[in-house]
């Protein structure tokens, strides 16, 4: 009969404490081995040593070693909105690029499973990620930002008609990719609009360290943004701030500034909810053109980039705090 306590001590010694306590059922030993931070050669050698040690125990006919890796040091910032059409994906992409310019080791996940757009925004359409041990390796998007999107996994234009469980599994694969190995310690997650299955899966299994809400200034968008804030607050996720998008339009012919969606609504709402206001982004043709071309405007050094940089600086201060 196998002495599981003695075997556990033996496995802990050869793995440096990385092996979980083994379980034995019908002659099969199962255990988990944390291989976080190990290079492939060291990982494979340790797994082989652990398995051979377990197989040598009396009464053991098979040993199954599950390799696991924690996202050590990888913080998740969720970018959400109460409704679609507020420019959340554009904000997420440019926020990732701007934070990278500020020195953060940032990655980007397009969690809008049914309507992915980050591949276009980050000039990575047509790329397909590799995988190792069933975990994807992020691809490199615009400005060197590691990223993953459902658009990298399905043919262009194909409808993704999935129900809740499949959507949750897809989200898990995107978030559990090899981000740390790609040098990422801050992960921007572009959520779909609303408060549905994906948001709940995120909160239950991959709890973010904070959330950013994007809204346009008009009352209807702010009503929905308030619902998004409420969801994160119920899950005890800190609100890092609110961004007001499409805030003012400067006529390219006469230069007159108008406010087709209102003015200052998001900032006022942030004040009422007691959360930080990170900044506003104008409704500008240059932003739309650069985004469609896969060249995030935050990558530049001009007036078009400055609103995104200002928001990134404000968010960076919040993250430091």
* Residue 155 backbone dihedrals phi, psi, to 5 degrees: -60, 150
Q: What's the rounded Cα separation, in Å, for the pair 117 and 113? A: 10
Question: Is 87 annotated as contributing to ligand binding?
Answer: yes
Q: What's the rounded Cα separation, in Å, for the pair 241 and 212? A: 5
Could you tell me which residues come within 8 angstroms of residue 26 by beta carbon, excluding any fewer than 6 positions away? Answer: none
Q: Are 135 and 68 in contact (CB under 8 A)?
A: no
Q: What's the rounded Cα separation, in Å, for the pair 29 and 62? A: 6
Question: Is 82 annotated as contributing to ligand binding?
Answer: yes
Question: Is 60 annotated as contributing to ligand binding?
Answer: no
Question: Is 214 annotated as contributing to ligand binding?
Answer: no
Check residue 249 and report its DSSP letter: E
- Tally of residues, the chain: 321
Question: Is 83 annotated as contributing to ligand binding?
Answer: yes
Q: Which two tokens stand for residue 244?
A: 């007001």
Identify the three-state secondary structure at position 258.
Answer: strand
* Residue 147 backbone dihedrals phi, psi, to 5 degrees: -155, 165
Q: Are 31 and 66 in contact (CB under 8 A)?
A: yes
Beta bridge partners of 257: 250
Question: Is 89 annotated as contributing to ligand binding?
Answer: yes
Question: Is 86 annotated as contributing to ligand binding?
Answer: yes
Question: Is 172 annotated as contributing to ligand binding?
Answer: no
Q: How large is the greatest C-alpha to C-alpha distance in the chain, in angstroms?
A: 87
Place of tokens 């009503």: 223
Could you tell me which residues come within 8 angstroms of residue 170 by beta carbon, excluding any fewer than 6 positions away? Answer: 113, 150, 153, 162
Q: Which two tokens stand for residue 124?
A: 């990575």
Q: Which two tokens stand for residue 79?
A: 């970018």
Q: Are 199 and 231 in contact (CB under 8 A)?
A: yes
Q: Which two tokens stand for residue 312?
A: 């990134």
Binding residues: 82-89
Binding residues for ATP: 82-89
């Amino acid at each position: 009969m196998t002495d599981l306590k003695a075997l556990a001590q033996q496995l802990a010694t050869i793995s440096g404490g990385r092996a979980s306590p083994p379980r034995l059922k019908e002659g099969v030993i199962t255990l988990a081995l944390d291989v976080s931070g190990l290079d492939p050669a060291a990982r494979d050698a340790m797994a082989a040593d652990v398995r051979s040690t377990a197989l040598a125990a009396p009464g053991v006919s098979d040993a199954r070693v599950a390799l696991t890796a924690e996202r050590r040091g990888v913080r998740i910032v969720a970018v959400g909105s109460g409704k679609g059409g507020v420019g959340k994906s554009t904000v997420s992409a440019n926020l990732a690029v701007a934070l990278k310019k500020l020195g953060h080791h940032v990655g980007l996940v397009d969690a809008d499973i049914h309507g992915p757009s980050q591949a276009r925004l980050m000039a990575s359409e047509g790329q397909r990620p590799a995988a190792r041990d069933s975990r994807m390796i992020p691809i490199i998007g615009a400005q060197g930002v590691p990223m993953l999107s459902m658009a990298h996994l399905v043919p262009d234009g194909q409808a993704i008609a999935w129900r809740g469980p499949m959507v949750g599994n897809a989200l898990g694969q995107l978030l559990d990719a090899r981000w740390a190995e790609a040098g990422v310690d801050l992960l921007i997650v572009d959520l779909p609009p609303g408060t549905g299955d994906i948001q709940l899966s995120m909160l239950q299994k991959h709890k973010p360290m904070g959330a950013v809400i994007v809204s346009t200034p008009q009352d209807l968008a702010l009503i929905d943004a308030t619902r998004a804030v409420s969801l994160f607050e119920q899950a005890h996720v800190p609100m890092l701030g609110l961004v007001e998008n499409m805030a003012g339009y400067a006529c390219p012919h006469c230069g007159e500034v108008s406010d087709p969606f209102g003015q200052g609504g998001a900032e006022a709402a942030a004040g009422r909810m007691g959360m930080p206001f990170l900044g506003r982004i104008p409704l500008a043709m240059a932003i739309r053109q650069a985004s469609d071309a896969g060249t995030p405007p935050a990558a530049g050094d001009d007036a078009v980039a400055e609103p995104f940089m200002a928001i990134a600086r404000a968010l960076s201060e919040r993250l430091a705090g």
